[in-house]
Amino acid sequence: MKEEFEDQRLVASGIKREESAAENALRPKSLSEFIGQERVRQQIDVLLTAARRRKSPSDHILLSGPPGLGKTTLALILATEMETPIRITSGPAITHAGDLASILASLMEGEILFVDEIHRLPRPAEELLYLAMEDFRVDVVVGKGPGATAIPLQLPHFTLVGATTRAGLLPSPLRDRFGFTAHLDFYTEGEIAQVIVRSAALLALSIHSSAIGEIASRSRGTPRIANRLLRRVRDYAQVRGADHLTHDDARAALEMYEVDELGLDRLDRAVLLALVERFNGGPVGLSTLAIAVGEETETVESVAEPFLVRNGFMARTPRGRVATSQGWRHVGFEPPTSTYTQNPTIFDSPASDA
């Protein structure tokens, strides 16, 4: 039994590495290759050009926005444009201030430190980061109790690039120390189509324009999702022996992978169906809803809920989550006449979890 579990773990790990390698291969390598986010690209271009002319590191940069829009890609592009190394870590990986101090002390002059999910840094590490970002030094505490002393350690000038999906969770002292903050928005369907065309070319795929439109319309305005769906459509076509991806291939593949015409996947539909069938449209608490669909509360809140709320399928109310009239109809039910389904926008305050 143990050997079987180990084999499954190794297979899953291999699949994850393969998916990660595929995503990295499709990443743009320069600002000129980066599609979408026009205003942010212009702002970063000015920032980097000025830094290069001064021959100094760029100001610290904060990238915020929903997952999959290119924050990590932009951080890697920054290093390429500045011709400097980049060190990559994440907030959850830093468990105490000593971890961050070790990373900062090993940086080279001009190097970029990229911290993904920076809003999840522990508080002691945040406080250490304040001084490092502003004065390029950290105070290393030696000893304990009354005899403890702080030894200042000078750091090389570096650029901190932070990425967050929840900028509101960053404390003001940390947020204010970034010289430039960029917010990435969801892509238009046309921009997603450009991303798919570029990715198809890199994957040496022949694809019909109608298939591109079909994938783009189900990608939630997110390049990461678009690239993932493109690879699944490619797999489906290759198994069928097709050399050219058609509209029928795209539609059949996406239906098989349970991605509907508006981009809802299995979890999204499960949440909507639970709301409608088990709780008569709500209101229902988040934890109760998560139990009903067999998922963790955080998964429902961070993965399914943002898309459903943004597209008007579900609303957050003071009493809990409710299905809107659009949500009822999307899963094949006629909504009852109620205040929630008729005018859900008036209930947009944070929902309780009762």
pLDDT at 246: 85
Measured at the alpha carbon of residue 45, what is the angle toward residues 180 and 106, in degrees to the nearest 5? 60
Say yes or no: domain 266-347 is CATH 3.40.190.10: no
Could you read off the pLDDT of 215-263 as tens digits, one per residue? 998 888 899 999 999 999 888 888 887 788 888 888 888 888 888 888 8
pLDDT at 15: 43
Distances (CA, A) of 350 to 68, 200, 309: 24, 41, 12
Q: Residue 245, SS3?
A: strand
Q: Residue 222, SS3?
A: coil
pLDDT at 226: 92
* The pair of three-digit structure tokens given for residue 273, joined into one six-digit string: 């169906």
pTM beyond 0.85, yes or no: no
Domain ranges of the chain: 31-183, 189-256, 266-347
Q: Which residues are catalytic?
A: 71-72, 116, 165, 224
| Nearest one of 234, 177, 199, 152 to 27, comparing CA atoms | 199
Pick the CATH number of 31-183 from 3.30.1490.190, 3.40.50.10860, 3.40.50.300, 3.40.50.2300: 3.40.50.300
Count how many Cα atoms sit within 13 Å of the Cα of residue 151 in the half-sphere of its side chain.
7
* Residue 329, H or E segment: helix 325-330
- Regions in the chain scoring below 50 on pLDDT: 1-16, 339, 341-354
Q: Residue 135, SS3?
A: helix
CATH architecture of residue range(s) 189-256: Orthogonal Bundle (1.10)
| Partner residues linked to 137 by β-bridges | 154
pLDDT at 342: 47
The string of DSSP codes covering 96-130 is SHHHHHHHHHTPPTT-EEEEETGGGS-HHHHHHHH
* Residue 45, H or E segment: helix 38-54
